[in-house]
């Protein structure tokens, strides 16, 4: 894929999405680690993980909406 034609704004949005993904991954790993150390009960770990995923999903969907529109085939068009 040739990325030389990506605008600075789009590049910035993609980097922001990567940051959301990376921070979400770190959050989930921290939750898992806290559970494995016995600092969180299973139900609390599960609840925190679901909340974290929902927040990241909503954030990424909002960012995706800013990048393009969904076509009739369900694929995102930039």
**How confident is the model at residue 25, as a pLDDT?**
96
What are residue 70's DSSP bridge partners? 76
Residue range 42-56, pLDDT digits in tens: 999 999 999 999 999
Instruction: State how far the Cα of 23 lies from the Cα of 30, in Å rounded to an integer.
Output: 10
- Which residue has 């929902």 as its token pair? 54
With CA atoms as reference, report the closest residue to 14 among 77, 71, 69, 67: 67
Q: What is the pTM of this model?
A: 0.72
């Amino acid at each position: 894929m040739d990325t030389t034609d990506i605008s600075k704004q789009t590049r910035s949005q993609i980097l922001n999405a990567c940051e959301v993904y990376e921070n979400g991954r770190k959050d989930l790993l921290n939750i898992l680690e806290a559970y494995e150390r016995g600092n969180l009960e299973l139900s609390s770990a599960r609840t925190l993980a679901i909340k974290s995923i929902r927040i990241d999903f909503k954030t990424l969907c909002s960012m995706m909406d800013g990048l393009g529109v969904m076509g009739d085939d369900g694929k995102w068009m930039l």
